[in-house]
Structure 1
C-alpha cells in the first residue's frame, strides 16, 4: 500500500465542522479531490506565529452530562496564529471562508477523584476578540488514520494524542483549531462551565475591534408585520449592573441567581411612514469578554413593564411614525465575565449586526 501525505481534502458540515483527509491505497481514494498539489510540493510546510498570552494555571470545574462536577487545573500553554496557506487545500463552509486559523493548546489536569473526559473539557474553551466575537472551533476526523502525518501546524494540532479519559491526578494536552476573521487578534482565551468563567488575556488583543462608541446612534432597517422595511434610528442609552435585589420578585434558578444581572436600555425611533409593533428588543444581544452572546432574560410579572430600574417605555399598541420607544432588557453574565459590546441585529435581508461598546 502506498503511503500518501496526510493533507486536507474538505471541510463539511455546519457549526462543528468535519475534516476529511486523503485516503490510502486505491486510485479513487488517493486522488487530489480538491486540487491538492503533488506530495513533493507539500513538504515545505507553513509555520505558525506564537502569540503572547497569560498561561497561569487556574482551578476550575467541569460539569459532565450527568451533572457531576469535576475539579480541574487548566491553562492555555500555547496560542499560534496560522495563515490562509495552512488551508490552501481545504474546501471551507461559507461561515468560515476567509477566516484565519489559530491553534490553541491547553493543559488539563484532573485534580478531583473521579474520571473526566479530556476531549469534552477542551470544548469549553473559547477564543474571543475584544468586542466579544467568539472564534469558530473546527473539529476534524480522518478518513485514513494510516496515512503519514503532514508537518504543517494544522496537521500537528489535529494530531495531538491525549488520553480520552483522565483519572485522578492525570494530565493531558489538547489542541484545537479556532477560526477568526482575517486581520483581527484574539483578546482572550476563556474556559466556561456552570460554576463560572476563567479568562486569560492575549497580548495585543485590542486590535481589530470595530464597535461603535457606546452612545452613537445607528441607522438600521426593521421589517414590519407586512414584511416592509422601515428605517429605524437605534441608540444605546445605558448598560448598568443591577443591584443584588433587583430580581428578588422573580423566580430564578440557582445558576441564574449566581450570575450578575445587567440592565441594557436602547431607544428605537420609527423613521418610516408605517407603524411598528414594539418587538425590537428581541434583536438586542449582549456580548461578553469570554465570547458569550447573551439573549435577554424572559421575565413575567403582571402589571409591570420590567423590574425596578429596568422599566421599558413601550406603548400599548403600535409605535407611530416619528415616535420613539425605550426598551430595557435583563442579561445574566456569569461569574468571572463582563459585558464588552451590545449588538442589534436588523431584520433586513443581508444586514450585518451593529455593535456598540458596553460602557
Structure 2
C-alpha cells in the first residue's frame, strides 16, 4: 500500500472516532445550531480567504494587507502566511472565485484531543490549529459551500496528519460558508493538524481542493 493510502486510512479512522465523540456532545446541546444549517455542497470540506482580491506570485512580496497584482494563483505556488491567494473555486455544482488566506497556526495541547476518545491513535501527538479566511471575489453566491481540503505542513515539507471533525469543536471551528455569501463577503475557518510529537511543529499549510490536488507542485502552500 502506498504512503498516501496509509495516511488516508488513518485519517478516516481518526475522523470516525471523532464523529462519535462529537455526536455525544451534540446531545448536550453543543450542536443545536448545526441542525439548522443546510448541508454543505457535495465535494469539499470547509475553509479560508483574504481581505482583498488577487494573488501575488510566490516570488513577489505580498502587498500590505492586500493582493499582489490580481493574478490567479497557480498550482505549486507558495505564499507567506497572511498572504491571500485568489483562484476559481468549485464545491459540487457551485462555482465561483475566492481569495483564500492561511492567517495563522496556533499550537494546542494534547489534552484538547481527550474529548474525542481516540486513545492510542493520537498518543504523543500535538494538535495545531490552521486558521484561514475566505473572501468571495467573484459574482456567484457561494452560500453553504464548503472550502475544506486544508492540511498542515511539518518543517520538512511533509503533510501533518489531519483530524476530520464533524460537529462542533470550539477550539477550531469550521463550518460551511454562511447564507448570503456574495461578492465581498468574508468568513473564517480552521483545520486540525496533528504533529507527531511535542518536538515537531506544524509550520505551514496547504490547500489541495479543486482546481488543485495533493503533491508537491500541485497544491497551494503557505509558510
What TM bracket, shorter-length normalisation? 0.5 to 0.7
| 1:163 partnered with 2:190 | no
8 Å CA contact 2:108–2:126 kept in 1: the answer is yes
Task: Indicate whether 1:192 and 2:191 are aligned.
Answer: no
Give the equivalent residue in structure 2 for 1:128: 153
Unaligned runs of 5+ in 2: 1-11, 30-79
Match of 1:113 among 113, 117, 139: 139
In structure 2, the residue matched to 1:319 is none
**Aligned residues between the structures:** 154
CA distance in structure 2 between the aligned counterparts of 1:64 and 1:81, rounded to whole angstroms: 29
Deviations 1:259-315 (A, max 9, x none): xxxxxxxxxxxxxxxxxxxxxxxxxxxxxxxxx358xxxxxxxxxxxxxxxxxxxxx
Q: For 1:1-359, what aligned pairs fall within 5 Å after superposition?
A: 14=13, 16-17=15-16, 18=19, 19-20=21-22, 21-22=24-25, 23-24=27-28, 54-66=81-93, 69-92=95-118, 94-116=120-142, 120-121=146-147, 123-129=148-154, 130-141=156-167, 155-158=170-173, 163=178, 166-182=181-197, 183-196=199-212, 292=214, 333-334=217-218
- Bigger share in strand: 1
Q: Unaligned 5+ residue runs, structure 1?
A: 1-12, 26-52, 143-153, 198-291, 295-332, 338-359
Distance 2:160 2:203 in 1: 10
* Distance in 1 of aligned mates of 2:159 and 2:218: 17
**TM-score (ref. length: structure 1):** 0.36
**Cα RMSD, aligned residues only:** 3.4
CA distance in 2, matches of 1:54, 1:133: 16
Which is bigger in relative contact order (C-alpha 8 A, separation at least 6)? 2
Distance (Å, rounded) in 2 between the aligned partners of 1:107 and 1:76: 7
Q: Could you say what secondary structure the match of 1:14 adopts?
A: helix
TM-score relative to the length of structure 2: 0.55
